């Protein structure tokens, strides 16, 4: 991985969550390719695949609201309270870079998740126990974060931040997986 500044593309979110996620994924891939250039030649590093997930919702008065990594338990609980009872979108951009840093394509996948209505006590309990402070939206589907939702539409793996159906389709297109 790299220390790529994901927040530098925040201004693109209101224009398009897809564009924002894809630009971050491309930036991460380019940063990783640049790191690769200073390493001794390793055939195993021929391809770089990078992804970035944006968690967001539509709001009648504010438009789109993006949920960043909260960093603190207080902010995480507040994010979950904004998510409670709402339709949430997880948009993940995926970029694939090949030999010599050539860009071989990128795409996005959006998973739609309907959060159940839960209490502040439920949100606080989840945050205190699982501490998803480095997760956009303040939840992880890999743990009890799944219990916060009542319905998921789309690629299930997309709401975990790495849409495997999209990734496999991209790898097939460049011949890294059988067709």
Q: Which residues pair with 90 in a beta bridge?
A: 55, 111
Rounded to whole angstroms, the Cα distance separating 66 from 103 reads 27
**Helix residue ranges per DSSP H, 38-175:** 73-83, 120-130, 164-173
Residue 72 tokens read as 């603190």
**Annotation marks residue 52 as catalytic:** yes
Q: Which of 5, 52, 59, 155 is catalytic?
A: 52
Distance between CA atoms of residues 51 and 109, nearest Å: 10
From 82, 76, 77, select the one nearest 64 (Cα to Cα): 82
**Side-chain half-sphere exposure of 139, counting CA atoms within 13 A:** 30
Residue with tokens 């993006």: 66
**Catalytic site residues?**
52
């Amino acid at each position: 991985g790299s220390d790529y500044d994901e927040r530098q593309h925040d201004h693109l979110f209101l224009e398009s969550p897809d564009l924002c996620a894809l630009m971050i994924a491309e930036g991460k891939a380019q940063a990783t390719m640049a790191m690769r250039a200073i390493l001794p030649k390793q055939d195993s590093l021929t391809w770089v695949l990078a992804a970035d997930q944006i968690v967001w919702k539509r709001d009648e008065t504010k438009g789109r609201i993006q949920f960043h990594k909260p960093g603190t338990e207080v902010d995480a609980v507040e994010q979950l309270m904004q998510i409670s009872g709402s339709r949430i979108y997880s948009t993940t951009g995926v970029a694939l870079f090949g030999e010599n840093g050539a860009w071989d394509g990128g795409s996005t996948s959006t998973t739609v998740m309907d959060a159940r209505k839960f209490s502040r006590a439920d949100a606080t309990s989840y945050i205190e126990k699982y501490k998803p402070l480095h997760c956009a939206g303040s939840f992880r589907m890999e743990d009890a974060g799944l219990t916060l939702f009542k319905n998921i539409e789309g690629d299930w793996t997309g709401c975990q931040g790495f849409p495997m159906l999209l990734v496999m389709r991209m790898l097939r297109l460049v011949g890294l997986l059988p067709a």
